[in-house]
Amino acid sequence: MRVSTSCATAPGPVLAVESSCDETACAILAPEGTILAQRVISQDGHADFGGVVPEIAARAHLSLLPGLVKATLNDANLPPAGLGLVAASTGPGLIGGLIVGSGFAKGLALALNRPFVAVNHVEAHALTARLPGLVEGGAPFPYLLLLVSGGHCQCIAVEGIGRYRKLGGTIDDAAGEAFDKVAKMLGLGWPGGPALEQLAREGSPDAIALPRPLIRRPGCDFSFSGLKTAIAQKLAPYGHTPLPRSFAADLAASFQQAVADVVADRINHALDMMPAARLLVAAGGVAANTVLRARLEETARSRGCRFAAPPLRLCTDNAVMVGWAALETWEEAARRGQTPFTDIAMRPRPRWPLEDMASRFTPAHNQPAAGALS
């Protein structure tokens, strides 16, 4: 299995679009993975609702994408005709945003007569660590991925391009969802994860006793609903009166520590289930949390594994990861003798399990649309 992350078989730079939730993003990568340009716009208009409103997100993508793509091409000093591939997140995610982003990218691909690569958003997170130069020593297969974000919390065995096994996942809230809900209880607004982490720096992680759901249980599933309920019970005596700053800080720090303890325990179990893994990769927005990162690094070290997490700008949703996943997909198709490869007929999928990815490399899947790739 290769250690090199070269994708030299791609026919030229890839332009990638990410629109699966509330980040509108575009990036252009050279065939070997060098980032030529990238832009991300974090949408306004959701904070007043305490979460992402799908209709608002889709309309924002529709408004922002044309100008964003043009600006990204200008940043890369590249005309559209200089592109070799076009890619977009095509699932999982909010269906309105996926339709807008993938539809825009497909239209561009057809206009330029270029292949289109549909990217699984979760797979893009899974492969980010393989970007050239991102992880010292590279990220050869197999490795264990912990994906922690507002919509996902799962342990995935990454065994190759298109080869993934879900070892465990959340049975209720995702970790990022729990962070946002607890932040809202503390009056910190939305998105709450970064604000909660900042408040927690003022408090003590041992100040308030909180449960550790599923800790030491077999397997590596997660549960954060009970922890969220415990926070609500701690806040109940205060009613609608303002919280003392010191109490709020202690509660934030104690909650953050409880999440880190639970995740570390689940990762230990996941590593037991994947003894061949010598690398633990954390990805997703919650992977930006410094306390969680430190705990994961300590856990990996205790198990004789390396630990890697993308830089903060690549933890949250971005188009660089989409472009890299497209390049990896193209190279895998080439290795199997299936290029030119196109996903032009694939529809957006709000649910797209990683276990389905292997089917993309079957001859029946790779059917260009009429007039494309001629």
15 contacts: CB under 8 Å, gap ≥ 6: 26, 27, 28, 69, 72, 73, 83, 85, 86, 87, 105, 108, 323
Strand, coil or helix: 280: strand
Q: Strands 35-42 and 23-29, how do they pair?
A: antiparallel
Q: Which of 314, 313, 322, 344 is nearest to 15 (CA)?
A: 322
CB 115 within 8 A of CB 341: yes
Question: Whole-angstrom Cα distance, residue 168 to residue 343?
Answer: 29
The CA distance from 282 to 270, in Å, is 13
Separation CA 358–CA 373 (nearest Å): 23
Binding-site residues for substrate: 147-151, 180, 193, 197, 289
Angle, alpha carbons 229-179-263 (nearest 5°): 90
Per the annotation, binding residues are: 121, 125, 147-151, 180, 193, 197, 289, 317
Query: Count of CB atoms within 10 A of residue 115's CB?
Result: 26
- Hunting for tokens 């979760």 — which residue is that? 122
Q: CB-based contacts of 198: which residues, under 8 Å, 6+ apart?
A: none
Q: Calculate ∠ Cα 106-108-110, nearest 5°.
A: 70
Binding residues for Fe cation: 121, 125, 317
Contacts of 272 by beta carbon, 8 Å cutoff, 6+ apart:
none
